[in-house]
Amino acid sequence: MLSVVILAAGKGTRMRSDLPKVLHPLGGMPLLAHVLATARQLDPDVICVVYGHGGELVPQRLAAPDVTWILQEPQLGTGHAVMQALPRLHAASPAPTFASPTPEHLVLVLYGDVPLIRAATLRALIAAAGEDKLGLITAHLDEPHGYGRIVRENGKVARIVEEKDASEDERAIREVNTGILVAPLARLIRWLPQLSNCNAQREYYLTDIVALAVADGIEIATVQPAHPWETEGVNSKNQLARLERIYQRNIAESLMEQGVTLADPARIDVRGELICGRDVFIDVNCVFEGRVELKDGVRINAHCVIQDAVIGPGSVIGPFARLRPGTVLAEDVHIGNFVEVKNSTIGAHSKANHLSYLGDTTMGSRVNVGAGTITCNYDGANKHRTVIEDDAFIGSDTQLVAPVTVGRGATLGAGTTLTRDAPPGQLTLSRAKQVSVPGWKRPVKQKKE
């Protein structure tokens, strides 16, 4: 049996923000959401999140049926935090005992501000620890400042010393504790009540269970992550920005391995899930939010923002286009510069190449939308739908006041304001009479005295 406890109660003072630290976004998702997603890949029986600062905002934002939320109040350290989860873990265990030499209920401790830890690394940790060892993820750092040091004796882990409590020799150690560990529940039930807060921070350190494990003769297994960024935490906006770039670089590399062509891998932002077909091209400075699907042969030109949209095969988007949620494009659709599409379906081979807004629209195939076209979908209280049937031609500077339908093969003359349905196959236009005024002179700007 596997339980995961995620510690997410920290205040995040250095973030200088009213938003709880674990809710700050990385790749468009809260830091804690990344940790939860990784934990779920392990198929645990229980997931507990220990929260504190920010009150109920954290569980409200990330509420899920598979997560148990436990309030740590007051916050007295990491050991105290895990102790708050013990009753829930004890209740979930089939038979937690102190006497069993190989307890079957393992507890994995993660951190809500360490978002890039990989499931593969955690699986390696669990495998190394087995059912009767204490497992730690450690890392060798050239600059270990701020981390607890791994103190070894005869090659074996003897204890962990926090930097504020470390001697000069101990601070010279380069192997550090990442905080991530796995232990049998029965052992935690025994060790946690023995923790002391006799330290510089007056807190109950979870890391002190290492010395308790050594005293009990329990073997300590260590695993190192494949990448140093896996165990990096977020304590400041600078650290958050650094991990954002690492996260985006990893996504860019994954996309290219799938065959996607990126004009510059350093200039793409994926803030959600991006699914790409074959022969997709993405130019620089494009942002993808939510769930976006690009079918085969799609080309996304520079400076586009695409959110919760599906783009059909061979379509060309941008530059400077915005596709908002609910956009579904069929095959070979062209959405050009400074065109915004929202909650609309657009049929095959249709084009809106310049300076237009298409909201709440159902558009057929082979429709041409002229520059400056607007679907007027909002009456100040409710949204209404515009229907444009196959083979219609929408002249430039046209306003379609929804609800309205443009019939199959209809043509709307430039400058039309359409307030009634346009019949199929006919020209419809509405324009004020053009008038020229003889002798009219443009006003002259008066000089200031």
Catalytic residues: 354
The CA-atom distances, in angstroms, between 104 and each of 42, 62, 183, 414, 432 are 16, 29, 10, 75, 82
d(CA 400, CA 377): 8
Contacts of 380 (CB under 8 A, 6+ apart): none
d(CA 424, CA 394): 13
Are 344 and 363 in contact by the 8 Å Cβ rule? The answer is yes
The dihedral over CA atoms of 377, 379, 382, 385, expressed in degrees to the nearest 10, equals -30
d(CA 293, CA 313): 10
Nearest CA to 263 out of 288, 245, 281, 249 is that of: 281
- Give the CB-side neighbour count of residue 84, counting CA atoms within 13 A: 24
Nearest CA to 188 out of 111, 112, 123, 93 is that of: 93
Beta partners for 409?
Answer: none
Contacts of 360 (CB under 8 A, 6+ apart): 342, 343, 344, 375, 377, 383, 384, 385, 386, 402
